[in-house]
Amino acid sequence: MDQEKKFTAKCFCGDVKFELTGGPEVMAYCHCNSCRHWSGGEVSAFTLWKHENVKVTEGEDNIGVFNKTPDSARQWCRTCGGHLFTDHPSMGMFDVPASIIEGFSFEPGFHVHYQETVHPMKDGLPKFKDLPSAAGGSGEEIDE
């Protein structure tokens, strides 16, 4: 019997569904201009999952893709426009918005691109100017 955690996620209308297995590698908030524009919100609550832990179970032919950069393939449902995930091929991960994962407990560890914030958050979590050094950023932290 498979004891590994499984979560389901879907677009706004439910035409595209996918399964997430195990747990995310990272849970955090992003404050960058790009994520704000894509999400339509002041901050993006994201989760990063290894490619092998994400499987589309319904509606794969209904997924639209936009590559803003070679390392950012944003994907959505062609019926409702609901956001699904962003593929980051160089990282081997999908960025899945925490809000579309059913029954998922979002527990962020830090904030990224905090120098671009339009919604300051005083929550005691580390605030990185760009990205942690382990993710290729400067690792520089900003005060709350």
CATH of the domain at 85: 2.170.150.70
**66 domain-assigned:** yes
Q: Give the span between the Cα atoms of 91 and 68, in whole angstroms.
A: 16
Residue type, 12: F
Q: Give the span between the Cα atoms of 86 and 96, in whole angstroms.
A: 7
Total-model pTM: 0.92
Q: What is the DSSP letter of 40?
A: T
**46 domain-assigned:** yes
Confidence of residue 2 (pLDDT cuts 50, 70, 90): low
Confidence of residue 135 (pLDDT cuts 50, 70, 90): confident
**144 domain-assigned:** no
Percent of the chain as helix, strand, coil, to the nearest 5: 15, 40, 45
Confidence of residue 3 (pLDDT cuts 50, 70, 90): low
Mean pLDDT of 90-117: 96
Contacts of 33 (CB under 8 A, 6+ apart): 116
How many separate domains does the chain show? 1
